[in-house]
Structure formats: C-alpha cells, structure tokens
Amino acid sequence: MNTRLVLVEGLPGFGKSTIARLMSEVLTEQGMKVRLFEEGNLEHPADYDGTSYFTDDEFAELISEFHASEEFEGLLQSWAVRHGGGWLLPYRKLLEGAGSQLPEELVRRMAEGDIYELPFKLGRELITEKWRRFGAAAAQEDCVYIFDCCFIQNPATLGMIKYDAPKEEVAGFVMDLAEAVKALNPLLIYVNRDNLEAAFLRAVKERPEAWSEGFIPYYTEQGYGRRRGLRGLEGTLEVLKSRREFELELIEQLEMNKVLLNNSQADLHAAKLELTRILPQF
C-alpha cells in the first residue's frame, strides 16, 4: 500500500468515525504503523480543534483586560504560541487544565477567537498553512495517517454552512488541502447512505441532546440556512442534502484516489471485508 494518508468523509450519522476505526484495525492487522485522528482530537497534526487566533493587537487587548490577575495573564502567555503576525491559543487544552478557575468572560473571549469562527479567508489561510506543514513532515515518516472528517467536512462547514461562500471558493479550499498532502498519495473514502433523513434522525436520537441542540441552530441560523429561510430539523435536513450534493460534485473534481463506500446497512463485518478488499489496491 503506497498511501500514507487516508481521508474519511461523509455526513453526520453515516458512520464515518466507525469506518475510520475499522480502517485503522485493518491496516494494523496488516502490520502497518497507523495513526488515527478522530474528530475532536486536540492533538491533530493538520487541523485546528479548540484553538483560537488573535492578532498582536487583539492578544495585547486580551492580556490587558485580565491584567489585574497575574494568574490569568500568566496562563494566557504560557499557552499562547507566536504565529506570524498573531498568536495561536489552544484554549480547549487550557480549559481542560484550568477551566473551573477561569472567568466566564475570558472563556467566552477565547471561544470567539476560535479558528472556525474567524472570517472565511483568514480561517482558510491558517488551516491550509497547517496542512502544508503536516504534509511536509508526514512525508518523512513511515506510517499511515487516518483523518476522520477534517478534509471536506470542516471546509464545507466553515465556508458553506457558516458563511454561504461561493461553491468555487469552498471547493478551492479543499483542493488546496489536497495539494498540501499530495506527496502522501492520499486515499479518500467517502461514506454514503441511501437514506439521509433516517441516518440523521437516528444520530439525533442516539447522541446526547446537547449535540442536536448545537448542530441544528448552527446549520439553520447562519449563512447558508439563514439566507434560505431554513428552520429546525426539517431545515437542517435540507442543508445536509445540499451539502451532500456539493461534496459529491467536489469529489468528482478531486485528482486523488477515492472510493465511495455505501454504508446503508451499517454492517460492521461487511464494511471491514470491503475495506480489506479495497485497501491493497492503493
């Protein structure tokens, strides 16, 4: 297998995380060194999860605002990392260690600067740059990376869902990421299901209520959903249908190895057999 990076994508509830784990199992059983990074992993080598970005002026203002407390000022300065003309702050890691001690206003300010809350152009630049650094570093390693959902889903969420950016710009974002890891001969596994509505409703039912309470407003009360007057669960399903249509069109344009995996039956044994059959081809 020449692939050094497997990218697993698909809509929520389609089973992409399960497929990513099965992929890791199959490759490990074949004697390969594997590094699996699932959604939400704060140590992700190519993506930013729970990280905020501040310009020099914004960071100075944040420090000044909490200057009265040497403890909070010290925490910010010790966790922040200089990056170009600004600062990266892995605030979710900070919160895991000292969350209960931090003022609510400080927590709010850090979250507002999350890279996936930034203007589309700036967020795209920061994320693409990190993918380029990852691509260069991973090319020197002897292992297979598996990424769950950050290749297409995250750019689509930021560009399409949040900002309703032109399709060409969102597609360009994904293509920039593909170019950044081209040397790794990436393989894209797109997990699909025949019945989008049933899969999503099942995810809503099975996951904690807080998940859907955050997901539905995010999809309907921002750029794409708001401009089209979409509301509630039905509106969210309409956005998801449009997102899948966009992603399938985009996949056709991507110049990389790719496989569309129908996971409608959610049969783990069958899925593992299919992955075992597919992977040696790449």
80 in Cβ contact with 89 (< 8 Å): yes
Give residue-wise pLDDT tens across range 140-184: 999 999 999 999 999 999 999 999 999 999 999 999 999 999 999
Q: Is the per-residue pLDDT at 215 higher than 90?
A: yes
Amino acid residing at 256 = M
Q: What is the arithmetic mean of pLDDT over 127-133? A: 98
- Which sign does the torsion angle of CA 182, 183, 185, 187 carry? negative
Amino acid residing at 248 = L
Q: Is the per-residue pLDDT at 224 higher than 70?
A: yes
Q: What is the arithmetic mean of pLDDT over 67-91? A: 85
Amino acid residing at 209 = E
pLDDT in the model for residue 280: 86
Least confident of 2-16, 68-82, 125-139, 244-258: 68-82
pLDDT in the model for residue 24: 97
Please calculate the CA angle 261-14-215 and round it to the nearest 5 degrees: 145
Q: Is the per-residue pLDDT at 85 higher than 90?
A: no
d(CA 269, CA 102): 46
Q: What is the CATH number of domain 5-46+119-281?
A: 3.40.50.300
pLDDT in the model for residue 99: 61
pLDDT in the model for residue 281: 86
Q: What is the mean pLDDT of the chain?
A: 94
d(CA 262, CA 265): 8
Give residue-wise pLDDT tens across range 263-275: 999 899 999 999 9
Q: Where are the domains of the chain?
A: 5-46+119-281, 52-113
pLDDT in the model for residue 248: 98
Q: Is the per-residue pLDDT at 68 higher than 60?
A: no
